[in-house]
């Protein structure tokens, strides 16, 4: 049974998950590159580690949720990385959104140290992470998945087993392809409605009930109308994911023409300086082109 856990990466997603592990009663160690993000956890009784290597000493399980490939490279494979401190019989779970090839590389490297690995990325954002309502996918050895599942159930409302290592990372990219296109569709639709002079609150009322409705549209639309772009899922991360999808789909010669258009739009929004805003700020690139601002009257 898993009793001691290290959580590394206390960003938007990681901080909610680490809090929920504390609430669930696990003995928790935390580590974050910017040390100040560990302070609230120390106050609640978590041990603060000095490095990823230090964090994984004497724990049953290490979980991390980091920005991108570079962060995983540093935290897992770096000089004071997880691998340099881990020991046989431990379990490692990567909840970051990374390439399936990265998950496989992690799995192989951990196996050399006798550590079992699951790739377990998530759907949901800041609120779902804080409320333990994430939609989690996990892949790797089935027996290890079963062992880790009770922990993951403290973080999400669903946990799906995807099969062999890397498959959960694939599912995450498939899902984010759909997310990116939905966000772009919402942005293009709202800009068109604004240009045509529709009442945008009424537009969102229709979007909420029509047969194309989705939680993503319903949660992002009203915030756009309020001009609230505070980040739950940063636009620069959406652009990072578009790059991962492009790379992965390219490796399988799977066509992604619409994603390529969205990626360009995301790039324009980042160039305009909106990378740290929510991914819904992709609309700002369209607004600039259209010469309008989408706002409820």
Give me the residues that bind ligand NAP (CB under 6 A), please: 9-14, 32-34, 37, 65-67, 70-71, 74-75, 96-97, 122, 125, 232-233, 237, 241
Q: How far is the CB of 81 from ligand NAP (least distance, A)?
A: 10
Angle CA 93–181–138, to nearest 5: 15
- Cβ-contact 91, 62 below 8 angstroms: yes
Strand order, beta sheet including 116-119: 47-48, 27-31, 4-8, 61-64, 91-94, 116-119
DSSP 46: P
Task: Look at residue 136 and give its three-state secondary structure.
Answer: strand
CA atoms of 18 and 34, how far apart (whole Å): 16
Residue 172 or 194 having the CB closest to ligand NAP:
172
Residue 200 or 262 having the CB closest to ligand NAP:
262
- Cβ-contact 17, 44 below 8 angstroms: no
Q: Residue with CB nearest ligand NAP?
A: 11
- Cβ-contact 47, 28 below 8 angstroms: yes
Q: What is the largest CA-CA distance in the chain?
A: 64
Tokens of 170: 């694939």
Task: Look at residue 35 and give its three-state secondary structure.
Answer: helix
Residue 199 or 228 having the CB closest to ligand NAP:
228
Q: How far is the CB of 199 from ligand NAP (least distance, A)?
A: 30
How many beta carbons lie within 10 A of that of residue 289, not counting itself? 11
**Alpha carbons within 13 A on the beta-carbon side of 6:** 27
Residue 99 or 193 having the CB closest to ligand NAP:
99
Residue 140 or 275 having the CB closest to ligand NAP:
275
Candidate list 27, 44, 142, 172, residue with the active-site label: 172
Strand partners, 57: none
Tokens of 283: 């609309």
Q: Is 276 in the active site?
A: no
- Cβ-contact 276, 296 below 8 angstroms: no
Q: For the chain, report the end-to-end CA distance as a whole number of angstroms.
A: 56
Residue 158 or 202 having the CB closest to ligand NAP:
158
Catalytic residue numbers read 172
């Amino acid at each position: 049974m898993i009793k001691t856990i290290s959580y590394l990466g206390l960003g938007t997603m990681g901080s909610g998950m680490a809090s929920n592990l504390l609430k669930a009663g696990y003995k928790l160690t935390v580590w974050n590159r910017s040390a100040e993000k560990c302070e609230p956890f120390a106050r609640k009784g978590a041990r603060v580690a000095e490095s990823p290597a230090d964090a994984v000493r004497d724990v049953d399980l290490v979980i991390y949720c980091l920005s991108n490939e570079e962060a995983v490279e540093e935290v897992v494979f770096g000089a004071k990385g997880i691998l340099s401190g881990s020991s046989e019989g431990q379990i490692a779970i990567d909840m970051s959104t990374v390439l399936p090839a990265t998950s496989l590389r992690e799995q192989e490297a951990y196996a050399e140290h006798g550590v079992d690995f699951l790739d377990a990325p998530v759907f949901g954002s800041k609120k779902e992470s804080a409320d333990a309502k994430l939609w989690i996918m996990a892949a790797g050895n089935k027996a290890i998945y079963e062992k880790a599942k009770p922990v993951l159930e403290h973080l999400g409302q669903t946990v799906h087993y995807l099969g062999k290592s890397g498959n959960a990372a694939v599912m995450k990219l498939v899902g984010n392809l759909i997310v990116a296109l939905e966000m772009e569709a919402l942005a293009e639709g709202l800009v068109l409605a604004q240009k045509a002079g529709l009442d945008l609150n009424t537009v969102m009322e229709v979007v909420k009930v029509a047969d194309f409705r989705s939680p993503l549209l319903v949660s992002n639309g009203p915030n756009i109308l309020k001009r609230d772009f505070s980040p739950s899922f940063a636009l620069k991360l959406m652009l990072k994911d578009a790059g991962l999808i492009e790379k992965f789909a390219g490796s399988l010669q799977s066509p992604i023409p619409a994603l390529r258009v969205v990626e360009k739009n995301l790039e324009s929004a980042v160039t305009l300086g909106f990378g740290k805003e929510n991914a819904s700020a992709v609309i700002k690139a369209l607004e600039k082109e259209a010469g309008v601002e989408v706002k409820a009257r």
